[in-house]
């Protein structure tokens, strides 16, 4: 487990009196990987980051970094780079002085400091701002200074605590890609904490979804989105429709399900591992995978619904429809087809079995 160049949390537990903020977490991070810890407020994600950084002590368990047990090491002994939510730049220091600070603490020579600061300024494209003070920089530039300071001493691990929370939407989206590109060029193992799903999907090699101090699922962004492990992950990542159903039978790797609300309504989904006949489950359907159809034979799955609400999103309309047994079903419709979903009208929806994921209830 605790291999060289890995971060490994073994049964990591943190209690505050009787409350378990982190509960027996096992997590392994590969060298050079960008892993995002994602979860709602109170899920334990920030506490986990503090445990790795050494700002909080483990109640139980161990933490290994590069094969070395760092469980009882102080923060400065762990040699971990960190970017805080508010950047924590020194206002009385210039950009290059801020970046040079961790090198001076580590007793690098003047020549080494000059070269390393120059190299990292080029990496984050801030050469012409080297003599500027933080107050003269934009939010995105301050973010890059904080990142440069965190990686200039070549730490084995970089921690990012809600790194883009202070930026506006457009700049945040730009910085997501910038941070990812810098991380790839440097090759540094990175753990980022966020509650922003888009940020996690954009930047990560893998995502660790947390809830109530426990890990719900660790997987690639595509796997998390397309095949969520449970109802919590399905609802937390993106938008999804959940149709209550029961397993009826399996035919050639296709599962036949009956609607809980209407036993005459049959659905088909791919795969059935871990489920048995009569198991109560949800069929998970992303709105973009549901199509407007002319008749019920166009797709394996079809259902008639009534249009109840249309929300304009620019390139699409988000449409709330209602089944005949009163359940909401959300779809996304291109603007050019919006005339086909008039308020109050009845429409037919269809989807492929490959686009339906079975989720445990």
Cβ–Cβ < 8 Å for 151, 102 = no
Q: Is it the case that residue 334 has pLDDT exceeding 60?
A: yes
Query: What is the C-alpha separation between 105 and 70, in angstroms, rounded?
Result: 21
What is the C-alpha separation between 325 and 33, in angstroms, rounded?
46
How many angstroms separate the most distant Cα atoms in the chain? 78
**Which helix (H) or strand (E) segment is 14 a member of?**
strand 7-16
pLDDT of 272 reads: 63
Average pLDDT, the chain: 92
Which DSSP state fits 209? Answer: E
> Which of 1-10, 23-32, 203-212, 342-351 is the least confident region?
1-10
Do residues 321 and 305 lie in contact, with contact meaning Cβ atoms separated by under 8 Å? yes
| pLDDT band of 3, cuts 50, 70, 90 | very low
pTM of the model: 0.90
Query: Which region, left, alpha or beta, applies to residue 212 given φ > 0 means left and ψ of -120 to 50 means alpha?
Result: left
* CA-closest candidate to residue 7, choices 32, 34, 29, 24: 29
What are residue 71's DSSP bridge partners? Answer: none
* Predicted local distance difference test score (pLDDT) of residue 149: 95
Q: Is the pLDDT of residue 5 over 60?
A: no
């Amino acid at each position: 487990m605790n291999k060289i160049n890995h971060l490994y949390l073994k049964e990591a537990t943190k209690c505050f009196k009787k409350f378990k903020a982190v509960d027996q977490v096992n997590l392994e991070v590969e060298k050079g990987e960008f892993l995002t810890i994602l979860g709602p407020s109170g899920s334990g994600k920030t506490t986990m980051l503090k445990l790795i950084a050494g700002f909080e002590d483990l109640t139980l368990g161990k933490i290994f970094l590069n094969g070395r047990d760092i469980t009882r090491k102080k923060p400065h002994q762990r040699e971990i780079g960190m970017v805080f939510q508010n950047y924590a730049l020194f206002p009385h220091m210039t950009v290059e002085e801020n970046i040079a600070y961790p090198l001076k603490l580590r007793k690098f020579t003047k020549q080494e400091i000059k070269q390393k600061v120059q190299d990292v300024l080029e990496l984050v494209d801030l050469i012409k701002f080297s003599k500027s003070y933080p107050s003269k920089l934009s939010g995105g530039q301050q973010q890059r200074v904080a990142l440069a300071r965190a990686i200039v001493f070549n730490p084995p691990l970089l921690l990012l605590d809600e790194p883009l929370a202070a930026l506006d939407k457009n700049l945040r989206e730009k910085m997501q890609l910038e941070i990812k590109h810098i991380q790839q060029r440097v090759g540094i193992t990175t753990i980022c904490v966020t509650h922003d799903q888009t940020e996690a999907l954009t930047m990560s090699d893998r995502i660790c979804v947390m809830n109530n101090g426990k890990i719900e699922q660790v997987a690639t962004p595509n796997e998390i989105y397309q095949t969520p492990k449970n109802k919590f992950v399905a609802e937390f990542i993106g938008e999804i429709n959940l149709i209550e159903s029961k397993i009826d039978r399996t035919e050639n790797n296709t599962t036949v399900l009956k609607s809980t609300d209407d036993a005459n309504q049959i659905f088909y989904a791919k795969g059935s591992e871990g489920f048995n006949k009569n198991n109560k489950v949800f069929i998970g359907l992303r709105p973009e995978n549901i199509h407007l159809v002319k008749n019920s034979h166009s797709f394996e799955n079809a259902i008639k619904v009534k249009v109840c609400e249309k929300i304009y999103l620019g390139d699409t309309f988000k449409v709330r429809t209602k089944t005949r047994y009163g359940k909401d079903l959300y779809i996304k419709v291109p603007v050019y087809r919006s005339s086909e979903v008039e308020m109050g009208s009845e429409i037919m929806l269809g989807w492929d079995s490959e686009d339906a994921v079975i989720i445990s209830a």
